[in-house]
Amino acid sequence: IEGLEQGVKDAYLALIMVSAPNLRHLRFGGHFFLDSMHIGNIMRFAISSKPLPTILPHLETVCLERKIPRQREWSERNTEDILPFFYLPKLKNMSIWISDPPTRHIPWPLGTPPCLPNLETLKIHDLREVHLEQTLSITPNLKSLHWEWHYEPGIQDDEFNTHVMDLSLFKPALQPVQQSLVELRIEAHVGVWQWWFPVHRVVNSPPTWLARFPKLKKLRIPVICFTGFDGIHVSHMSGDLVTGECLPHTLEQLDLSDDLLPGASGQILSLPRPK
């Protein structure tokens, strides 16, 4: 009530959620989702009800996204407010912007991880490798994953917000969905940069493990994942990509982006596999 009286946006959103129990599709974005405390409180209460959540029990699609750089607008982590959504049993499609928790293990609100056997599409922003692995482990039938790797130079008190993209960590992070994934989209971005911040770099370890995704048909990935990048220079194209050792035989569409490269413009080189 106090939040409503003060005109807090997410308090109004929480009220909407409580008032519409038959919602199947929910989307909050932009400035409307800068704060999430009231939504988190409502969801934590909802998932504590047995046998099913009392709020949004029929929700199939949820989109919770922020468009503002967290360095400027995010005073607190939103992890605890977003995690309860993973307990909604009928979710099929999910797009979320979630902060890394301060610990290596995700603090699931009910003490044990949920399971989302119906989830087929997941778009996830901001979560780094170690926590991505734990998240994907609860999505056994995921078909489409869009993961946005992000480094925010101005945030120094987050051990997971590192400037190094270490490809050796990608393999275990994606391992839980190796057998089910049909589409994989990886984007990489760096926030507002200043000259005294460490320059991002890519530790190249040829992603030959991609070839062991038996159902993968569509792949979008930064080209520097095959070349490496030391902050100044781009190395030569990995021979494993040239010879096809990194790619599964099922692949039909390959998009190589210029993410993280100096002067990157968002261009994509599309390489369809010949029929």
Instruction: Please report, in tens digits, the pLDDT of each residue of the chain (275 residues total).
Output: 566 556 567 777 888 888 888 899 998 876 656 677 888 888 888 888 777 677 788 999 999 876 555 544 445 688 999 999 999 989 999 999 898 998 999 999 999 999 999 999 999 998 999 999 999 999 999 999 999 998 877 776 778 888 788 888 899 999 999 999 999 999 988 876 554 445 566 666 778 899 999 999 999 998 888 876 655 555 555 545 544 678 999 999 999 888 877 665 555 555 544 44
Contact indicator for 62, 90 with CB cutoff of 8 Å: no
Residues 6+ apart with CB under 8 A from 58: 21, 22, 23, 24, 90
Report the C-alpha gap between 40 and 272 in whole angstroms. 43
Q: What is the pTM of this model?
A: 0.85
Burial of 266 (0-12, 13-18, 19+ CB in 10 A): exposed
pLDDT of residue 182: 99
Q: What is the pLDDT of residue 139?
A: 97
